[in-house]
Amino acid sequence: MLFKQQALLRQKLFVLGSLAIGSLLYLVARVGSLDRLQPLCPIDGRFGAHSQDEIPLRALQFKRGLLHEFRKGNATKEQIRLHNLVQQLPKAIIIGVRKGGTRALLEMLNLHPAVVKASQEIHFFDNDENYAKGIEWYRKKMPFSYPHQITIEKSPAYFITEEVPERIYKMNSSIKLLIIVREPTTRAISDYTQVLEGKERKNKTYYKFEKLAIDPNTCEVNTKYKAVRTSIYTKHLERWLKYFPIEQFHIVDGDRLITEPLPELQLVEKFLNLPPRISQYNLYFNATRGFYCLRFNIVFNKCLAGSKGRIHPEVDTSVITKLHKFFHPFNQKFYQITGRTFNWP
């Protein structure tokens, strides 16, 4: 009798377990189908029908599903037409600076359901050969998007290339321009570290940072060294200001983006006139990697490439002090022009 009761109990538990698993699989499939079928709300609607939790789960998942397929070329012209998808010229460009955090900024802005990013650096405006191919070639390099979304690309070489401001102005004189900066000496060392790593991968030798950054003949800062020149932000910005008013620029604190990304991203949302949608839900600190990673929804997370956050070589303190002193007057002018002050030496 006891044996029969135990057998009956096991049978009931099996049935209940099967029903629970079946229900779970149905819900997963249901969510997936809704994400595939439900389009993003237009910006004009301010995403009012969605809660904070629904934005990452539904709108973002939809965008990364359907639009990813189109980016891979797995869509017919009819499908593109039916979904009202277009390849738009950027309404905002991250123009620099190199080793300031341009990739991190682009990936983080892509958390916003109204933003679509160009996956690769296009190098249209700073490359004469590409620029000669014309604006339609550039447009075709952009990802598919909905008309209400904004496309953003980034090419940090734009900031320091002399011809770029005029070329971008001719495309769109009202475009919004994003510049992400770090403390100039740290940025220069980071620039050097990336080049050094590339040399080491090819088993090549390379000069020490001190020898490149300091002119051996004068013992002063070597302004011919590209890593130093790039960090003189005000010199490059003044060239851009010949074509664009300062109101069309937004300066992002690259150092703060590493340690406290959300406030910086919220400032960019405001600058781009986007409804606030990036939240702490979308950002989590990865202690192993030492920086923040991205959470798009309950199943999809993303950390930046392992090459980010390279360990810098030790640099002679006297050289660092000399660089701080050299950059100081340029930094003060940069603060004055942009209206944003940083705690740089």
Residues in binding site for 3'-phosphoadenylyl sulfate: 99-103, 182, 190, 292, 308-312
- Residues flagged as binding site: 99-103, 182, 190, 292, 308-312
Closest-CA residue to 282 (of 306, 305, 265): 265
Q: What are phi and psi of 330, to 5 degrees?
A: -65, -40
Residue 258 in 3-state DSSP? Answer: helix
Neighbours of 101 (CB within 10 A): 27
Q: Look at the block and give the residue holding tokens 């956050």.
A: 309
- The sign of the torsion formed by the CA atoms of 87, 91, 95, 96 equals negative
Q: Which residues pair with 87 in a beta bridge?
A: 144
**What is the C-alpha separation between 122 and 215, in angstroms, rounded?**
34
Pairing between β-strand 150-154 and β-strand 115-117 as defined by DSSP bridges: parallel
99 a catalytic residue: yes
**What is the C-alpha separation between 241 and 135, in angstroms, rounded?**
23
Closest-CA residue to 115 (of 68, 80, 152): 152
**Active-site option among 63, 72, 77, 99:** 99
Residue 54 in 3-state DSSP? Answer: helix
Q: Which residues are catalytic?
A: 99
